[in-house]
């Protein structure tokens, strides 16, 4: 559920937005930190946290996530690695046909999509449609 779902369901005129706290002299960064605290410590429909996490926090969360995955099923990571390896062995060496008419390999897919050649060909295709 989002705030827009509430607006749609009850009508914007029937919704009342109350400030939870008012600040007089605060920097934008401090404001984001405060908002982040409210989002983390209260039931909230905001899906995105305004305060981005640091790379170290991200690493720690990732570690924690995989620890929990391993705890739940010790074989799961091994299975996923084997599956990914098999997929790359099967598809990684192949040549793919792009909708622009060109070809690319799995490793260079992103580079191809960003290339000027792909973009100009796609523009021409889109103009003819």
- Would you tell me which residues interact with Zn ion (CB under 5 A)? 98, 100, 102, 118
Measured from the CB atom, is 34 or 121 closer to Zn ion? 121
Measured from the CB atom, is 39 or 98 closer to Zn ion? 98
Measured from the CB atom, is 1 or 95 closer to Zn ion? 95
Q: Alpha helices, DSSP H only, in the chain? A: 3-10, 28-41, 55-72, 76-91, 109-114, 116-128
Do 65 and 56 contact (CB within 8 A), yes or no?
A: no
Structural tokens at position 32: 């984001």
Phi-psi label, residue 22: left if phi above 0, alpha if psi -120 to 50, beta otherwise: beta
Give the nearest distance from C-beta 112 to Zn ion in angstroms: 6
Give the nearest distance from C-beta 101 to Zn ion in angstroms: 7
Give the nearest distance from C-beta 109 to Zn ion in angstroms: 9
Give the nearest distance from C-beta 115 to Zn ion in angstroms: 7
Query: What span, in angstroms and rounded, lies between the C-alpha atoms of 128 and 20?
Result: 54
């Amino acid at each position: 559920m989002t705030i827009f779902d509430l607006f749609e369901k009850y009508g914007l005129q029937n919704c009342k937005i109350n400030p939870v706290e008012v600040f007089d002299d605060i920097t934008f960064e401090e404001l984001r930190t405060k908002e982040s605290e409210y989002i983390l410590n209260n039931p909230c429909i905001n899906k995105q946290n305004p305060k981005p996490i640091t790379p170290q926090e991200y690493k720690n969360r990732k570690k924690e996530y995989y620890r929990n995955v391993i705890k739940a099923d010790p074989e799961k990571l091994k299975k996923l690695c084997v599956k990914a390896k098999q997929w790359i062995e099967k598809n990684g060496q192949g040549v793919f046909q792009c909708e622009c008419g060109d070809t690319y390999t799995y490793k260079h897919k992103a580079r191809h999509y960003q290339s000027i050649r792909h973009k100009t060909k796609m523009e021409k295709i889109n103009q003819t449609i």
